[in-house]
Amino acid sequence: MDMQEKIAQVREIEALLKETKSLNEEKESLSKDKDLTDGQIRALTKSFAALQEDLKQKENTVLVISSNNSFL
């Protein structure tokens, strides 16, 4: 292997290392985005459950009021 081939290999290795670094940074960024999104999903799920419970309680209140009115 002559000097030009070695220089070409070194340049290729440097380019691959640079690309690897870039891909690792992108992977880290996507992982952080996923963590944030997972947190938002958990918060929305809790909120949804609370809203469902509130709706159920209001429906029960309406049923009680309706049944009391039917006795009048």
- Please tell me whether residue 29 adopts helix, strand or coil conformation: helix
Per-residue pLDDT tens for 9-18? 999 999 999 9
Residue 13: exposure state from Cβ atoms within 10 A (0-12, 13-18, ≥19): exposed
- Share of residues in the chain with pLDDT > 70 (%): 97
Q: State the pTM of this model.
A: 0.68
Q: What is the pLDDT of residues 16-43, one digit of tens each?
A: 999 999 999 999 999 999 999 999 999 9
